Amino acid sequence: MTTRTTAPEREVPDGTGLAGTVRDARGQAVEGATLTLVDPAGREAGRAVSDAGGDFDLRADGPGDHLLVTGAPGLAPSAQRIVLLDGRTTRSDVVLEHAQVPVGS
């Protein structure tokens, strides 16, 4: 899994968020990936699905440390730590590796 996170880049009037693009290891956009933010207490803090270009824009319940879990059919899921700042959108792209097929399957 590869992730690129940059500093928050724009004000968001309706709260804290996360935006980015989901791609596979070959650089292709992943449509329909499910992205779930989990807060430190283990509760879902936000959810989004990537569009045809792999882009997503997710609104979060609040700032702080979160776990971003991303999954898509045929690709290995990923989990990464994300720090969100209040009232801003943080940019973080996700790269999902192709799932390994067990030998003999």
Domains and CATH numbers, the chain: 2-95 (2.60.40.10)
- Taking only Cα atoms into account, the Rg of the chain, rounded to an integer number of angstroms, comes to 14
Could you tell me which residue, 75 or 10, shows the higher pLDDT? 75
Average confidence (pLDDT) over 28-36: 98
pLDDT averaged over every residue in the chain: 86
Average confidence (pLDDT) over 76-100: 93
Give the pLDDT confidence of 45-65 residue by residue, as tens digits.
999 999 999 999 999 988 999
Write down the pLDDT at residue 41.
Answer: 93
Q: Does residue 13 carry a pLDDT above 50?
A: no
Question: Between the CA of residue 30 and those of 33, 41, 45, what are the distances in Å?
Answer: 6, 29, 22
Write down the pLDDT at residue 33.
Answer: 98
Sequence-distant (6+) residues with CB within 8 A of 12 are 87, 88, 89
Write down the pLDDT at residue 70.
Answer: 98
Could you tell me which residue, 14 or 7, shows the higher pLDDT? 14
Could you tell me which residue, 13 or 40, shows the higher pLDDT? 40
Average confidence (pLDDT) over 78-95: 95
